Amino acid sequence: MSQRETLNGKLPGGAFLGRALHRIGLRGRGLVIAIPVLWLFLFFLLPFLVVAKISLSEAAIARPPYLPLWNWDDGFLNITLNFGNYLFLFDDPLYLSAYIESVKIAAVSTVITLLVGYPMAYLIARSAPDTRNILLMLVILPFWTSFLLRVYAWIGFLKGNGIINNILMKIGLINEPLVMLQTDFAVYIGIVYTYLPFMILPLFANLVKLDQSYLEASADLGARPITTFFTVTLPLSASGIIAGCMLVFIPAVGEFVIPALLGGPDTLMIGRVLWNEFFSNRDWPIASAVAIVMLVVLVIPIMLLRKAQAAEAEVQ
Amino acid sequence: MTTSQTSTTAKPWDAPDAVPFMQIKNITKKFGSVVAVENVSLDVYKGEIFCLLGGSGCGKSTLLRMLSGFEVPTSGQIIIDGEDQAGVAPYDRQTNMMFQSYALFPHMTVEKNIAYGLKRDGLPKKEIATRVTDILSLVQMDGFATRKPHQLSGGQRQRVALARSLVKKPKLLMLDEPLGALDKKLREETQFELIKIQESLGVTFVVVTHDQEEAMTLSSRIGVMNKGEIVQVGTPHEIYEFPRNRFVADFIGSVNLFEGRIKEDGENHVVIASPEAGTDIYVPYAVSGVEGQQIAIAVRPEKMEISKADLGDMRNRTTGTVDEIAYMGNVSVYHVLLDSGKRVRVSQSNRTRSNEDAPTYGDRVNLGWAGRAGVVVTA
């Protein structure tokens, strides 16, 4: 019980606290784990259950704008579970196409981010330690300014008389401005730009650990650098690729700000649908159902990630 | 097979008309202002196991990396089987390397690891499969084909790494500390197996090691390196019995070095005055030197006699006090403090199970060695 003794010794009133915690079966290791578990319970599980509950109730003009799930009536407990909200989501093609569109935009953005981020991460990992720190700094630097501000800045670049169009017209490549803002193209640019560091950092962390002797062994056995890349470097960085892709894909699916600011009227992403249901239609149950379904959709890639991580842990 | 043929095939480096399989000519490698390898020239013949032996940082690994193409020499030339290796990329060289860390691809099975090099050569699948099976049975690893490297023990990984580097039938196989990661017992077993495999395939080996025992058992010849230079090349016997200078004498095995000056420079003998040894040392052969020249005599501990009784028949004699005894089972090593303050190691093999007359701590003892037991080192 050495942990408990140190706890008792260090904290004022620790003896009492220690005994109390001990009585409910918490000490040392358990105590350390209890804090994040409590945090997740309070700020993730509980809100999730509230949302799940609302998604099963009926919308009403009231405050809050839904009917209670259960009521006590004359000795009867009436529980009303309304699955209509979920059925409605599959009834109205709007929701289905919004989900598909979101997953599509997120997936395409993730692939582009990977294609842009991999060479950058590779270069940073292979550069001299001094240069490496500077390059990493440059990747992280944009986080020092507001995310919203940076997305607004892209409007300045992409709009009709924005910087890009002005330059292209000046040098005579085009005669009239290109329509870039309020298109899917702008949304892709916004997502790739914003999430690029989330791709680069896990990839870098993986590639920097790559043992150079694997590459030398590959060359020694007759593989040209390009073959070595595809047969050794790429497979060995798989866990970094998966981690980076998840960090981009998952938030990109539910992205609201970027499509709202840069996207056009036909950019239909689930984040915007959710916003509309919640704030414009004030249909909390439908909005909650949309959120729950989105979560279920995202559980699949998260499980894939867990599986990949477990496989890698086994190798090491 | 006649005797003369055997001797030429066994010792090609002594044959005047033998063409070296690999020639290193005046190779120098600098990293910035640091000279890692300085003006090294070396000939290695077909079928040899040549060991580059030296402490860490002596440049042996850099030399090996230049042979395999991972480092480019600052100056000099490397010729392997008549082909100049300058500008030849590692992946175009017909040499292979067994890495110190083995560098087995962790995401591939044993089979895929071994087949990797053959696939790069575009061999047909059938041939790859047979060659992988053959080499696996050569290194006694059949049945492990579908394991991943992390499912193997250190010794098994070493075998797979060896198989992977041998399967392409390289002209020259380089081994970087091939046994360094194995424990002592396994290392001794593997040494002899490595020699057997090398003999059965006839591949020329260049081995880098810091372990002199490993170098002695493995190699046909040893090149001792120090500070980027090769200080002596010779068979294990030559290196051990006739070290050319103080560094080699001291680095290989243990040795007692008596510093002194030439007192008498005779036609077929020299006498060296060594206050350190507490006696004049007689050497029964001529030495190129002048009287008064600073010189040293190297005497191996096992070539010295130690006794409480008089050693009247020994050519060189001195006295001292037993300071420490290290009993090692087969031998006992005595640390004797000479009257000059010099510490001398003498080893005696324990031929009987107990010896009543053996010297013990604090005993005054006589030390002696034959005239031919010592080697004069000038450098």
Look at B116 and A214 and tell me if their CB atoms are within 8 Å.
no
Beta bridge partners of A249: none
A149-169 pLDDT per residue, tens: 999 999 999 988 889 999 999
Question: Into how many domains does chain A fold?
Answer: 2
- Domain C-terminal end among A13, A44, A79: A79
Per the structure, the complete domain to which residue B359 belongs is given by: 254-377
Give yes or no for A315 touching B (CB within 8 A): yes
Are the C-beta atoms of residues B253 and B247 closer than 8 Å to each other? no
Per the structure, the complete domain to which residue A288 belongs is given by: 85-315
Say what the pLDDT of residue B73 is: 94
Tokens 């090691």 correspond to: B209
B224: domain CATH number?
Answer: 3.40.50.300
Enumerate residues 6+ apart whose C-beta is below 8 A from B100: B176, B177, B180, B181
- Same domain? For A201 and A285 the reply is yes
**What is the number of alpha carbons within 13 Å of residue A259 lying toward its C-beta?**
24
Say what the pLDDT of residue B22 is: 92
Tokens 């960085």 correspond to: A237
- Domain C-terminal end among B247, B277, B302: B247
- Same domain? For A43 and A110 the reply is no
- Same domain? For B175 and B47 the reply is yes
- Same domain? For A69 and A203 the reply is no
Q: What mean pLDDT is predicted for residues B235-258?
A: 90
Question: Into how many domains does chain B fold?
Answer: 2
- Same domain? For A11 and A59 the reply is yes
* Mean of the per-residue pLDDT values of chain B: 89
pLDDT 10s digit of each residue in chain A, 316 long? 444 444 444 556 667 777 777 777 766 777 788 888 999 999 999 999 999 999 988 888 877 888 888 888 888 888 888 888 898 888 888 898 999 999 999 999 999 999 999 999 999 999 999 999 999 999 999 889 999 999 999 999 998 888 999 999 999 888 888 888 888 899 999 999 999 999 999 999 999 999 999 999 999 999 999 999 999 999 999 989 998 999 999 999 989 999 999 988 888 888 888 888 888 888 889 999 999 998 888 888 788 778 877 877 776 6
Look at A219 and B97 and tell me if their CB atoms are within 8 Å.
no
Tell me whether residue B7 is in a domain.
no
Say what the pLDDT of residue B6 is: 35
Residue from B71, B105, B108, B171 whose CB has the most chain A CBs within 10 Å, to mutate: B105
For chain B, what percent of residues have pLDDT higher than 70? Answer: 97
- Domain C-terminal end among B247, B268, B293: B247
User: At residue B7, does pLDDT exceed 60?
Assistant: no
Amino acid making up residue A123: L
Tokens 């120098």 correspond to: B28
Residue A106: name the closest of A207, A243, A261, A250 by CA: A250
B361: domain CATH number?
Answer: 2.40.50.140
- Same domain? For A125 and A240 the reply is yes
Q: How far apart are CA A138 and CA A141, in angstroms?
A: 5
Say what the pLDDT of residue B66 is: 94
B339-369 pLDDT per residue, tens: 888 999 999 888 888 877 788 888 899 999 9
Angle between helices A284-315 and A238-253 (to 10 degrees): 180
- Same domain? For B89 and B201 the reply is yes
The bridge status of strand B22-31 relative to strand B34-44 is: antiparallel
Residue B85 with chain A: CB contacts under 8 Å: none
Say what the pLDDT of residue A111 is: 97
- Same domain? For B200 and B180 the reply is yes
- Same domain? For B92 and B154 the reply is yes
- Domain C-terminal end among A79, A101, A136: A79
pTM of the complete model: 0.80
Enumerate residues 6+ apart whose C-beta is below 8 A from A72: A78
Look at B91 and A219 and tell me if their CB atoms are within 8 Å.
yes
Confidence of residue B8 (pLDDT cuts 50, 70, 90): very low
Which letter does DSSP use for residue A76 in this model? Answer: E
Say what the pLDDT of residue A61 is: 80
Residue A268: name the closest of A195, A191, A187, A196 by CA: A187
Confidence of residue B19 (pLDDT cuts 50, 70, 90): confident
- Same domain? For A119 and A63 the reply is no
- Domain C-terminal end among B219, B247, B275: B247
Tell me whether residue B142 is in a domain.
yes
What value of ipTM does the predicted structure carry? 0.83
- Same domain? For B267 and B203 the reply is no
- Domain C-terminal end among A79, A101, A126: A79
Tell me whether residue B119 is in a domain.
yes
- Same domain? For A239 and A164 the reply is yes
- Same domain? For A172 and A103 the reply is yes
Option in B99, B116, B150 nearest A213 (CB): B99
Token output for B242: 């006739």
- Same domain? For B368 and B290 the reply is yes
Say what the pLDDT of residue B360 is: 87
Residue B56: name the closest of B100, B104, B102, B95 by CA: B100
Give yes or no for A170 touching B (CB within 8 A): no
User: At residue B3, does pLDDT exceed 70?
Assistant: no
B213-234 pLDDT per residue, tens: 889 988 999 999 999 999 999 9
- The answer, yes or no, to whether the previous bond of A36 is cis (omega within 30 of 0) is no
Chain B residues contacting A via beta carbons under 8 Å: 68-70, 89-93, 95-97, 99, 101, 103-107, 116-117, 120-121, 148, 150, 164-165, 168
Q: How far apart are CA A219 and CA B329, in angstroms?
A: 48
- Same domain? For B61 and B206 the reply is yes
- Same domain? For A62 and A192 the reply is no
For chain B, give percent helix, strand, coil, nearest 5. 30, 35, 40
